[in-house]
A and B are shown apart, each in its own frame.
Chain A
């Protein structure tokens, strides 16, 4: 199955890198949030370093949400999803492929950009490292939970409006543990945040394809 699976991931990545590039848009959005916050709260670097973990985590989650509504909707609207559903891949495999493609095109680039934005917030080295690692672990969970939301709203013309309302409360644990890891690093504590975040991410990535496949099945019948 690896041939069809890989080809689907590569095709989604290719689409993300073109078409106004959802990947580039997410990065720009993330950087803009990081720029606006200091303009709002003031340039006190001590304060900014304290809030950097939370602000950048929230910014990353919002940035990843931007492109989520198109995850299934584009393929649903133009009939590609019918063809993909008839491929040798099961719908669960399709959902996993799309999840991976979304993470490679948004979660991973956002993670790679985060140390640079941490610099703007005066986040010390250990904090930056914790932010980077927590985003690396946590953004797959964002893609996974987001993929469920995307599959639920795939037939909606304006699914992008309702998607954040559905997804964001479910992502509270990711933000809490992710930002918690940064706080712990700043205070030189160990609070197990990264472990909890890993567990949350693992559960989300494991369960998401099943929920998303169920939603896709339901919508193909429509």
Chain B
């Protein structure tokens, strides 16, 4: 179980370009954090930094769990459920296959059916992913989050491509995740639809 995530004076530089500097924030389990900011302010960079893909130019990130504090980026990644702005869907694979692969990759042994039902694409289980709409692919991404069993969800534009019902579903899932002690960090321009703290990024 995760307890909290603390960022202390994070500075992010890509190439020679400073993205943001001296960013500090803290999120506790059960909380949601909305990352706001103009295009290019570094929302995606911040998410990739938390995920451990990027290393900060300076500053520190600590993920506190009931097993102890984690500072290593790749170790932190083992607690993260990721919904990026690419769909990560293989057109040649069935919806069911795709989700089953992902569940096994993450060591989650369980039926994928409840997750598919929860996100409303159970009927498409046998359908090759190339026939999915953008919104359905996003729903598959949400199902992956559910299957991942990870505590810290990092969501990059979670509402993109979703219809009204889909947005409500995404908000419901986030709320439920927080209610069970999870943590959500979402980068979005839209209102999250649940109680959340906000972090505004300004270009350095």
Query: Per the CB under 8 Å rule, do A and B touch in the complex?
Result: yes
**Which residues of B lie under 8 Å from residue A10 when comparing CB positions?**
101
Chain B residue nearest in CB terms to A75:
B88
**Is A220 in the interface zone, CB < 8 Å from B?**
yes
Q: Is B165 an interface position by the 8 A CB rule?
A: no
A91–B78 Cα distance when bound, in Å, is 12
Q: Is the CB of A7 within 8 A of B101?
A: yes
Q: Is the CB of B106 within 8 A of A88?
A: yes
Separation of A158 and B104 alpha carbons in the complex (Å): 32
Known contacts being A19-B92, A78-B86, A86-B77, is A8 close to B105, with CB within 8 Å?
Answer: yes
B29 within 8 A of A: no
Shortest C-beta distance, B96 to chain A (Å), equals 13
**B104-A83 in contact (CB<8A):** no
Asked whether A82 lies within 8 Å of B104 as measured between CB atoms, the reply is no
Query: Are A15 and B90 neighbours in the complex by a CB distance under 8 Å?
Result: yes
A190 at interface by CB-CB < 8 Å: no
CB distance from A167 to the nearest CB of B (A): 25
- Judge if A115 is at the interface, Cβ distance under 8 Å: no
* Given A4-B107, A15-B92, CB of A83 within 8 Å of CB of B144: yes
On whether A3 and B55 interact (CB within 8 A), knowing A11-B101, A83-B144, the answer reads no
User: Bound state CA distance, A79 and B84, in angstroms?
Assistant: 7
The digit string for A63-105, where 1 denotes a CB below 8 A from any CB of B, is 0000000000010011110111111111100000000000000
Taking CB atoms and an 8 Å cut-off, the chain B residues in 96-119 that contact chain A are: 97, 101-102, 104-107, 109
Residues of A within 8 A of B107 (CB): 3-4, 88
Whether A189 sits at the interface, judged by CB under 8 Å, is no
In the complex, which residue of chain B has the Cβ closest to the Cβ of A88? B107
Q: Smallest distance from the beta carbon of A44 to chain B beta carbons, Å?
A: 45
Which residues of chain A have C-beta atoms less than 8 A from B199's C-beta? none
Q: Are A79 and B88 in contact (CB under 8 A)?
A: yes
Q: A18-B92, A79-B86, A79-B88 are in contact. Are A84 and B105 (CB under 8 A)?
A: yes
Contacts of A165 in B (CB 8 A): none
Q: Which residue, of A11, A18, A19, A91, has the highest number of chain B Cβ atoms within 10 A?
A: A11
Q: Are B78 and A88 in contact (CB under 8 A)?
A: yes
Interface size, chain A (Cβ < 8 Å):
27
**B102 engages A83 (CB within 8 Å):** yes
List of B residues within 8 angstroms of A36 by Cβ? none
In the complex, whether B89 has a CB less than 8 A from a CB of chain A is yes
Give the docked Cα–Cα distance between A78 and B107 (Å). Answer: 22
Is B82 interfacial (CB 8 A cutoff)? yes
Quick one: which of B68-95 are within 8 Å of A by CB? 74, 77-78, 80, 82, 84-90, 92-93
* B171 contacts A by Cβ under 8 Å: no
Interfacial chain B residues near A221, Cβ < 8 Å:
48, 53-55
Please, how many angstroms separate the alpha-carbon atoms of A74 and B92 in the complex? 12
- Residues from chain B with Cβ under 8 Å of A80 in the complex: 88, 90
Q: Give, as a whole number of angstroms, the nearest-CB distance from A47 to chain B.
A: 43
Which chain B residues border A220 with CB–CB below 8 Å?
Answer: 48, 53
What is the chain B residue whose CB lies nearest that of A20?
Answer: B92
Chain B contacts of A8 at CB under 8 A? 105
What A residues does B106 contact at CB under 8 A?
Answer: 4, 87-88
Judging by beta carbons under 8 Å apart, are B93 and A4 in contact? no
B33 on the A face (CB < 8 A): no
Chain A residues near B77 (CB-CB < 8 A): 85-86
Nearest-neighbour CB distance to chain A for B79, whole angstroms, equals 9
A91–B77 Cα distance when bound, in Å, is 12
Q: How far is the CB of A221 from chain B (nearest CB, A)?
A: 5
B51 at the interface (CB under 8 A from A): yes
Q: Can you list 11 residue pairs at the A/B interface with Cβ under 8 Å?
A: A78-B87, A79-B87, A80-B90, A82-B84, A83-B105, A84-B105, A85-B77, A86-B51, A86-B80, A220-B53, A221-B55
* 6 other A-B residue contacts (CB within 8 Å) besides A8-B105, A83-B88: A4-B106, A11-B101, A74-B90, A82-B84, A83-B82, A220-B53
Q: Which 6 pairs of residues, A with B, have the shortest CB-CB distance?
A: A79-B86, A7-B104, A79-B88, A220-B53, A18-B92, A80-B88
